[in-house]
Structure 1
Amino acid sequence: MPSESFKRSYKTKTRESLPVAVYNSGLQQCDPGYTWGPGLRDHCLIHHVTSGKGVFRVEDAVYEVGAGDTFLVYPGTVVSYTADVEDPWGYCWVGFNGPDAKILLTQTPFTREQPVVRFSDPDAVRDAIQSIYAASGTSSASELRAIGQLYLFLALLVEQGGQEPSGDLMREYFESAVRFITHNYSHPIDVGDIASNVGISRSHLYRVFMQEVDVSPNDYLTRFRVTQACELLERSTLSMAEVAASVGYSDQLYFSRVFKKVIGLPPTQYKQQKLQTRQGGILWN
């Protein structure tokens, strides 16, 4: 006989702009044949089956899932899952999202082609999710504790077969950031704006730039702006204030200090001497 059905869950009321945040968590013993979907989620959702069995459908793929298995619902993907009629499953779950969620998941065994995983220690996975649920609450301290438990949970998944973030993904983030800089350097953008546009945290953006070009995103943005300023100084009749404004600096004096720090000369002297230091790209001297 299946266990008596129940559901206990918690949903956060605030979803701040944190690198990763817990959206919901809970435990459930499902009724026979209980189904969720077809539908999609706006966040990552991991279920760990603690008893019984059921079926997990991801678009055209069908997975038979039983006790000890863990499955991931990717945001924006149409899924459904159904408890077995004779032996309905019980599971615990955690939903989360944020700028760092995507890159954190790339370090786990989950992929879109393999959304169901049996980890080497299923009980540890169960306990980690239940610890997130136990830590949840309405206070700021409770939410921080839940986030802390989420990081521990993800670390556990990484330890049990995860991979390092792929070079292709890091390159994709870098190229996206460079496109944003190229199109917006004349506006007063900063590193936070770049990270937000790419969809990762400032700390991950820093790691991406250090891996790809061994330069921080702030230095890259500064040098890109100075490169554009050099071109304007050499090829236009704009005033110094107009050049500064054209590359994203509202303060001409601050622009002059930044320019001198990168080039070694103040912009007025650079213009006078018409230094030919550009090499077709960003200045790295």
Structure 2
Amino acid sequence: MAHSDKISAHINHIGKQRCAEDWSLTNRNTVNWPDLDLWYLLDGYGYLQTPDGKITLQPGVCLVLRGGQAYDFTRTSPQPFMHYWVHFNFLDDHEHPIAPNKPPHLPVYRQMHEIEPLEMLLDRAREVHRGPSELRFQADVWLHAALLEIQREDQRAHTSSDERQSHYDHEVESVCKKILDNPAQHLDMNDLCQMLHCSRAHVYRRFKQHTGRSPQQFAIDMRMQAAHFLLLDSNMSIAQIASQLGYVDVYFFSRQFKQHHGVSPASFRKSPDTPTSKPATKEWRMPC
């Protein structure tokens, strides 16, 4: 998963369902899959038998299953499973599907700390994918965001609790969430000093340790992330997007977008498959 921000992915099929009482999924099906299956459980309990052992299934369990492998699902709860499923392929540099037995290999199992963030991303992907065919490329963008959310959970699981505690700054996290919730709000260093009750130099050090970026760069990254999705997912003009994100000068917004993404907002909207140069979610970790 370390390469998920560099390798693109394409949705083949996506859905959400409350399974029927007689639903089953066994190795007779999975060994014939030509792709990967992201399987995210919202309700129900059971277990999954894999080639490497048994996995307990409960709400929040997220699986990435590889086609060609033998998997057998068993439900143990009275209520049937409710889950998302996303059949997808990673794509190589020529946009050709990568076989499910080839790298990158994602861990099969993780228990998501919070159900809602990944559910929201998959729901957006499903909504866009079942819309007009000319807009379905946007579903792959939401899948990419979902894979980054999964990556964060995998990295969190491999970090010891002591290490997480030593690097976690709740006050800086609170400021990060304010910026994320309202990227148009421009907080200067004096504002941050007051909010964090420390000097300018200490604000910089704390932000750098917590997010991997300076306060200014973090705020820019969040605005560029918001611009990325507004260009893909809204009918707003570039000037309206700039204004909504707190930019007075649309030309300055366009220059900053190009510095960040490598193309102008207009070019990005016309050719959204152009890879971005600095994924905004690469370094900052959501609260664990």
TM-score normalised by L of structure 1: 0.44
Kindly name which structure, 1 or 2, has the bigger radius of gyration based on alpha carbons. Answer: 1
TM-score normalised by L of structure 2: 0.43
